[in-house]
Structure 1
Amino acid sequence: MESESIWTRDFMMVVLMNLFTFVYFYASLTILPVYTLQELGGTESEAGLLISAFMLSAILARPFSGALIDRFGKKQMALISVILFALSSFLYIVIQDIYPLIGLRFFQGVWFSIITTVTSAIAADLIPVKRRGEGLGYFAMSMNLAVVIGPFIALSLLNDIEFPTLFALFSGIVTIGILCTIFIRVPHKNDQTAAVVKLSFSNMFEKGALRISVVGLFVAFCYSSVISFISVYAKSLGLIETSSYFFLVYAMTMILTRPFIGKLFDKIGPGIVIYPAIVIFSIGLCLLAMTNTGPMLLISGAVIGAGYGSITPCLQTLAIQASPFNRSGYATATYFAFMDTGIAVGSFVFGLIVGDIGFANIYLFTGMFALINLFLYTWSRKPINCEKSNSISITES
């Protein structure tokens, strides 16, 4: 009889693997813009390009991740991707030129895309079917914790240690993920290698998830201004020490509101959550534009966390609900591909123009632009002919 326990050893290992990967991801997003400007003598546009190169390769690789995993198996692809991702992270210690660094970021993005796809698939396999919604919610919390841990460590140490030491520290953290992966036992029935998968639109994207994923793209476009440039913005305001607590407040707000938001979503419907969350997200970005003190920076972080942290799990759930049950993996990949695109495009565009208009104007623009999602969400919910959808709860996610 299948155990109903979620927190098995294998599940904890895949959660830790995901945690370490995202700690590195969010830490690198935080420190690389500062490293580019301060150590490499680069520009804001080059700093944005470093973020965009990583996200671009992740976008290009993600549609093929499912086929690769089907072809070679989950455990094998998990090991290969995490090893190459970890080993390449040590190259930041020796590369001190912007263009080779952009190439390295592109290479890493490919393996990041595969890691994040395969860990989600393994986690789903390890969770009892009747508790899958609850279990995947716990799995997603590892990413929420990483939003705190990565930037907090990076920003706390930024003024105290050299960049090569900082890169070595986070490379060591992601390397622990290799050990976690080795000890994961993937159920054999779910990890059989398959024949070569024919590449087609349906084998890369889920049609039913496209509309809601467009909303996710525009939300991520606005959010890219925060994740890519908050450290540089805080440094320009003389608030670099306070900024280490920005993501702590952000994530605490997101975690505290998640159960309440989930219950509203389940009992009343997604609109009661998403419409107010979009407005709150917009207000948070506008507050960030007006920030000139430490408390204001932290308040904006809390408001952004409440808004963005409520929008994204709801959109992901709707993407899955709009898709047939057996296509939930493709729906998730489609949703994240669009989110990745939003972050990549935003990081690149804002990097190009921030030197001319300033960070405050960037955040004011994104705060206003975020309101377009009110109309996009309404459009995405218009009835369309599709296959039977898959219902899933986010009360625990």
Structure 2
Amino acid sequence: MKVAVQEPPAPTPPERIFTRDFTLTCLSCFFLFGSFNLLLPTIPLYAVQLGASEAQTGLVVGIFAFGSLLLRPFMGYLADRGSSKAMLLVGAAIFAVSSLSYLGASGLLVLLALRTFHGTGMSMYPTAANAIVAELAPPRRRGEAMGFYGLSYTMSMALGPALGMALLRGLDFPGLFTVSALTAVVGFALALPIATRRDPGLPGIPFRFYVPEALFPAAILFTYCFTFGAVGTYVPLFAVQQGVGNPGLFFTAYALSVLAIRTLAGRLSDRRGRAAVIVPGLALVVLGLAATAASTGLGTLLLGGVAYGLGFGMIHPALIAFTVDRTSSRERGTALATLSSAFELGIALGAWVMGGLVAWVGLRGTFWLSALFPLAGLIALLVRGRRWGL
């Protein structure tokens, strides 16, 4: 008598990440942040052309983040109520209008006002895009999905700063601002077909400025973003001081490093845990800042950009995934807005604080001092991470 042998069940295929709406969101982000990254190394130079000092240049960079920070908690709440698509489109429109408006900046005060307005677009677009991607991502592949989504920003960072400097040389500031505006328009057009799901129960969510479960990952992200306020403001000036012809090359090295590690880091965090990725990421950020501070030319400056980029590429997707892991779908937008607020606050304070200290410590000293912040984040994670589930 033959005994029937039961075949083992076929392995469940992995859930699909690249749906139509996920792909459109990533493409829209690439162009929208491309618009932003064209201006990343050039806005400090524009501020100097308008008569800004080194400290005032830090204010010009930092006030953009302040404009974003003002509205960010409200944007997270609106995302939870099903308004992500509208926020995505309004934010993209503000990017386009702001880029063109820089043409009319007649002085430092006007530039500061325009940067604040531009920052309100940053409060809307990434908050909405983060919420949409978190909704679309398969839970078991969340870190991997966040890594792929982050590539849209990273690729724009790889191309944008160096291209922005090239456009500045070829077309001057009017041509640069026009190209930046048109790039944002493409991002707006790609966002139009994106479909978002609406939960009829969401309107009952009470308003909260932050989600407590997101505070620890937000604090860790802050320690990195504080450094980017200094890097984004002063690397262009420092590179020129070191005789580097195109300061955008630092940001290209940074972005290519993020591009190389981000998806792998997201997948690793899904399998090995978020802390297994965040801890070495913070260590690399510290090393990258030290290399930048010690640089004497293009080679060491690029080495700093590579280490700095590898660190961020590991930290960011893991922190986003960890935040989504710990919060309910009903408050996911607010939780991600809490994380993004730390991003903006860190950049703003980093630019302003280091702008106030640069006269005493010099450009090189700002990078040494900035390295203390991710070092503090690393220590906090090692000491308190388990209490928060990391």
TM-score of the superposed pair, with normalisation by structure 2: 0.87
Q: Is the 8 A contact 2:141 2:267 kept in 1?
A: no
List aligned pairs for 1:149-228, cutoff 5 A. Answer: 149-187=159-197, 189-190=198-199, 195=203, 198-199=206-207, 203-228=208-233
1:96 aligned residue (106, 128, 136): 106
1:281 aligned residue (279, 285, 289): 285
Q: Does 1:238 align with 2:234?
A: no
2-structure distance, mates of 1:58, 1:160: 31
Q: Does 1:229 align with 2:240?
A: no
Unmatched 5+ stretches in structure 1: 392-397
1-structure distance, mates of 2:272, 2:192: 43
Q: Does 1:28 align with 2:28?
A: no
1:136 aligned residue (124, 146, 153): 146
2-structure distance, mates of 1:60, 1:281: 27
2-structure distance, mates of 1:176, 1:161: 20
For residue 13 of structure 1, what is the amino acid of its counterpart?
L
Q: Is the 8 A contact 2:80 2:330 kept in 1?
A: no
2:313 aligned residue (284, 309, 314): 309
Partner of 1:358 in structure 2? 362
Aligned with 2:171: secondary structure?
coil
CA gap of 1:363–1:134, structure 2 versus 1, over 3 A, is closer
1:295 aligned residue (284, 295, 299): 299
Q: Is the 8 A contact 1:155 1:244 kept in 2?
A: yes
Aligned with 1:371: secondary structure?
helix
**1:133 CA drift (Å):** 4.7
Aligned with 2:105: secondary structure?
coil
2:333 aligned residue (329, 336, 348): 329
Aligned with 1:158: secondary structure?
helix
CA gap of 1:263–1:131, structure 2 versus 1, over 3 A, is closer
Deviations 1:358-378 (A, max 9, x none): 111111222244321222213
1-structure distance, mates of 2:384, 2:337: 18
CA gap of 1:277–1:66, structure 2 versus 1, over 3 A, is closer
1:117 aligned residue (127, 145, 152): 127
2-structure distance, mates of 1:97, 1:119: 33
Partner of 2:9 in structure 1? none
2-structure distance, mates of 1:43, 1:318: 40
**1:134 CA drift (Å):** 3.9
CA gap of 1:258–1:88, structure 2 versus 1, over 3 A, is closer
1-structure distance, mates of 2:318, 2:202: 33
Partner of 2:12 in structure 1? none
Unmatched 5+ stretches in structure 2: 1-14
Partner of 2:117 in structure 1? 107
For residue 347 of structure 1, what is the amino acid of its counterpart?
A
CA gap of 1:185–1:315, structure 2 versus 1, over 3 A, is closer
Q: Is the 8 A contact 1:225 1:350 kept in 2?
A: yes
Deviations 1:250-275 (A, max 9, x none): 22222223344345434444444333
Q: Is the 8 A contact 1:212 1:380 kept in 2?
A: no
Q: Does 1:7 align with 2:18?
A: yes
**1:193 CA drift (Å):** 10
**1:63 CA drift (Å):** 0.4
2-structure distance, mates of 1:322, 1:86: 35
**1:45 CA drift (Å):** 1.6
**1:225 CA drift (Å):** 1.5
1-structure distance, mates of 2:357, 2:334: 35
Deviations 1:37-71 (A, max 9, x none): 1x212111211111211101211211000333455
CA gap of 1:62–1:351, structure 2 versus 1, over 3 A, is same
Deviations 1:263-296 (A, max 9, x none): 5434444444333332222121111112112111
Deviations 1:164-221 (A, max 9, x none): 111111111111122112232334x45x69758643xxx3311111122112112211
**Identical aligned residues as a percent:** 29
Partner of 1:394 in structure 2? none
